[in-house]
A and B are shown apart, each in its own frame.
Chain A
Amino acid sequence: MNKKDQADKLRGEQYIGNSRKIMIYLVLSGGGILMMMPFLWMILGAFKPLREVMVFPPTFWPQEPTLANFQKVFAMIPFARYYLNTAFVTIIPTIITVITAAMAGFGFAKYKFKGAKVLFWLILATMMVPYPVTIVPLYVMAHQVGLVNTYTGLIVVGLSSAFGIFLMRQFILSLPDSLLDAARIDGCTEFRIFFSLILPLTKPALATLTLFTFTSHWNSYIWPLMIINSDHLRTLSIAIPLFNGQYEQYPNLVYAASLMSLLPILLLFIFTQRFFVEGITVSGLKE
């Protein structure tokens, strides 16, 4: 064994022996199964009839698989309405956030202007403020201007993101200034530069930001919980726990509803998980 391999071995990156490899796979699989258990429990339970989910010890694989649970959920609550509500109050803020964050990120990354430092510092300082500190006063403000129990009230809090501004700024900082100067000499306005030069070059960062923003809005719980009290405005995150409370004796229906509300995020994640991982590594942490 040469020196390099020896060092790799200490670093844990060596091509390890088969018995070791099997050990690692076993431990990882065991851990992976434990991590997946809540999902498996829900997914498999969604296909079981009521009497089967109520037995103890539980069955693993559905003995008499059924799709009736899904139909029943739609019959018992306006589930499609909740779905559309969630999609609406997720997609609109996501689009707006991506645009505002890309613009602000570009502004902070590529311009020296009066007040830039102060504005940037303000964003930094404000990021430290925990959401409970702001959310009660935010509710009070929404109440004063009549936004409680409206779509606008749901959407208006999600039009920008500090995480997004940072992500875009970091990414745009790495683009060379000479590119911008060349475009200016060609007679491009600053806005042309942003739309036809910067936006196409930042596609990977835009993708990461879109995914993160979409997920966080789709999963949003506390704000909708506070601001919505009519049934027809409810999002999935509010409806599912309520459904669970109302139909406590039907866990199979609760699993079916949960599975359906999780599905978009699950599919999105399966196809794009690399972007998620990159986003976390860039930002340090997603709270």
Chain B
Amino acid sequence: MWGNKFNKWQRILAPYIFVAPGFIFYMMVTFIPAIVGIWLSFNQWSIISPEAEFVGLQNYISMLQDERFWSSVYNTAVYALGLIPGIVIFSLITALLLNTKIKKIVFFRALFYLPVITPIAVASVIWTWIYHPRIGIMNWLIGLFGWTRVNWLANPDTVIPALVLMGIWLSIGSRMIIYLAALQGIPRSYYEAAQIDGAGKWQTFWYLTLPLLKPTTLFIMITTTIGAFRVFAQVNIMTQGGPVDKSLVLVYYIFQRAFADLRMGYSAAMSVFLFIITVIITLINWKLLGRNISYE
């Protein structure tokens, strides 16, 4: 009798016990802080003072009037706009080349993927030396084309392009894998049909492959944008937002306000702004991908 009861209860309770640790640990570091963050954004608090002071919308109002905030949004958008075409083009080309029946695909795929698993701190340090004005390899490279040396990270005109180039290097690998999976998911029968219609290689690429890859491209563009709005480590290690705030990106500014100026509420307000941007981009994503191309 007792055995039956135990059996019944362990069956009812089992799913809750299975889900609880993973769910609670995850919510503890995401959902709860997000709520605290929204609450913080309506308060003024320096973390060292005993109590937060409710200020209503004051943080949001100062944010909208803050020129450095807007320039950080602008710089981040410029960074994203540079990153998107670079990542889409290079990862697509790599995926197309790897989608041919050549040997050593696994080897090449690994080469392109390696930056994805490199610690961002180490990558940033290496790239600092690559861009070094005196001994950096980038200046050696452009020297081969007869260009003069550039102080990449200290020149207001080159600092964002330098970060974009590194950003492309960081993400080609992961996006290439997504393209590769999409390419291999296109049914053979489509190409048989194109062949019967007498389509050439380029025609097939422009009128068949590329349109079929549209949802994938869109997905990559949107995840790249969302990722670009979260850039921080490179900026913190390589440029500290300089020169003259030219690489001051949104998240760097958020952390600067929080930990250098101890303005937790103001920083939280900017975080909420970032969250709203992310939600908008994600909604666009859903809207556009709702008209997904089905292969069946």
Which residues of B107-164 are within 8 A (CB) of A?
A: 108-130, 132, 134-135, 137, 139-140, 143
Answer whether residue B226 sits at the interface, using C-beta atoms and an 8 A cutoff.
yes
B40 on the interface (CB 8 Å rule)? yes
Report how many residues on chain B are interfacial, defined by Cβ distance under 8 Å: 111
A132 x B232 contact (CB < 8 A): yes
Point out the residues of chain B lying under 8 angstroms from A53, CB to CB.
135
Question: Which B169-192 residues sit within 8 Å CB-CB of chain A?
Answer: 169, 172-174, 177-178, 181, 183, 186, 188, 191-192
Task: Kindly identify which residue among A37, A130, A277 contacts B230, using a CB–CB cutoff of 8 Å.
Answer: A130
Residue of B nearest to A279 (CB): B177
B204 at the interface (CB under 8 A from A): yes
Contact digits for A251-287, partner B, Cβ 8 Å, 1 yes 0 no = 1001100100110011001100110110011001111
Residue A76 lies at the interface, judged by CB distance under 8 Å to chain B: no
Residue A67 at the chain B interface, CB threshold 8 Å: no
Measured in the bound complex, the distance between the Cα atoms of B15 and A244 in whole Å is 49
| Residue from A4, A137, A194, A269 with most neighbouring chain B CB atoms (10 Å) | A137
Flag A1-19 by CB within 8 Å of B: 1 or 0 each: 0011011111111111000
- Digit string of A35-50 for contact with B (CB within 8 Å is 1, else 0)? 1111101100100000
Q: Which residue of B lies closest to A53 (CB)?
A: B135
- A56 touching B19 by the CB < 8 A rule? no
The listed residue (B31, B181, B275) touching A130 by CB distance below 8 A is: B275
Q: Taking CB as reference atom, which chain A residue is nearest B36?
A: A137
Are A165 and B22 CB-contacts (below 8 A) given A36-B111, A130-B278, A190-B10? yes
B residues 249-296 near A (Cβ < 8 Å) are 250-251, 254-255, 258-259, 264, 267-268, 271-272, 274-275, 278-279, 282
**What are the 7 tightest A-B residue pairs by CB atom distance, in nearest-first order?**
A104-B22, A107-B18, A160-B25, A190-B14, A111-B15, A107-B19, A100-B22
